[in-house]
Amino acid sequence: MSERLHGTVALVTGASSGIGAATAVELARHGASVALVARRGDRLNELAETITRSGGTPLVIEADVTDEEAARSAVARTVEELGRLDTVVANAGVMLLGPIVDAPVEEWTRMVDLNVMGLLWTAHAALPHLLAAAETEPRKVADLVLVSSVAGRVARRGSGVYNLTKHGVGAFGESLRQEVTGRHVRVSLVEPGAVITELTGHNRPEIQEQNRGRWEGMERMEAVDIADAIAYVVTRPRRVAVNEILIRPTEQE
């Protein structure tokens, strides 16, 4: 186990699967105590057992971060039970694809509620604690990592509202970065390309069918590849802020 994050506390949203779960394990491996936030408690408990077995300190928090109060209380419980908050990975997100014309608009609401509002509630609740942590040992710097996407850089036909949410995350992150970087809170944007996770499985069956061929024959990234990038960001020395990482499978155009 590396000691780089020893004595620090992290909170990861969307920790019950995919990128969030891998990131929680990686941050714990670097010595952080980690609050695991998502809706599926059974999955979080399994992950917590894995982290505990490896010598880490997890805290399971079942919460729906689209609910402002739930997001606030997830942050508050983390600080109450683990003592401080140094690193937040706002990762929970959903990608519902398809044409804009005649789209089932409840899918738009789900994406905006989670990818935008869930991230905002989490960030708003966490920022006072991150600013406080940045003034104190052990690191005297704190991190807010926003998980965006290649879709936050490049819009494509068939992903318009997902593009809207992830472009929004990038704009928000850059504005916030300028606001808090002088106080040693680093705001970083991580923008993955295709990663093998549960993400595409939330789409309607016909959309899943249409997209099935898209990645055929291509070696996609694994969640650990993104966890590794996030760990890199948050383990840099205090003087170094990695503002943005765009990370694609080698074969993805």
Given 162, 163, 186, 192, the catalytic residue: 162
Q: Candidates 49, 135, 198, 219: give the one binding ligand NDP (CB under 6 A).
A: 198
Pattern 153-172, ligand NDP, x by CB under 6 A: --------------------
* Cα gap 112→180, rounded to integer Å: 25
Cβ neighbours around 209 below 10 Å, total: 10
CB 187 within 8 A of CB 181: yes
Closest distance to ligand NDP from the beta carbon of 119 (Å) = 8
- 232 as an active site residue: the answer is no
Q: Which two tokens stand for residue 197?
A: 């996770």
Asked if 78 is part of the footprint of ligand NDP (rule: CB under 6 A), the reply reads no
CB 193 within 8 A of CB 87: no
Residues 79-98 that bind ligand NDP (CB under 6 A): 91-95
Pattern 9-48, ligand NDP, x by CB under 6 A: ----xxxxxxxx-----------------xxx--x-----
* Cα gap 181→52, rounded to integer Å: 33
Q: Which two tokens stand for residue 162?
A: 């997902």
Asked if 149 is part of the footprint of ligand NDP (rule: CB under 6 A), the reply reads yes
Q: Which residues pair with 247 in a beta bridge?
A: 192
Tell the residue number behind the tokens 């994406």, with chain if given. 111
* Cα gap 88→146, rounded to integer Å: 8
Asked if 66 is part of the footprint of ligand NDP (rule: CB under 6 A), the reply reads yes
Catalytic residues: 162
For ligand NDP, the binding residues (CB under 6 A) are 13-20, 38-40, 43, 64-66, 91-95, 114, 118, 147, 149, 192, 194-195, 197-199
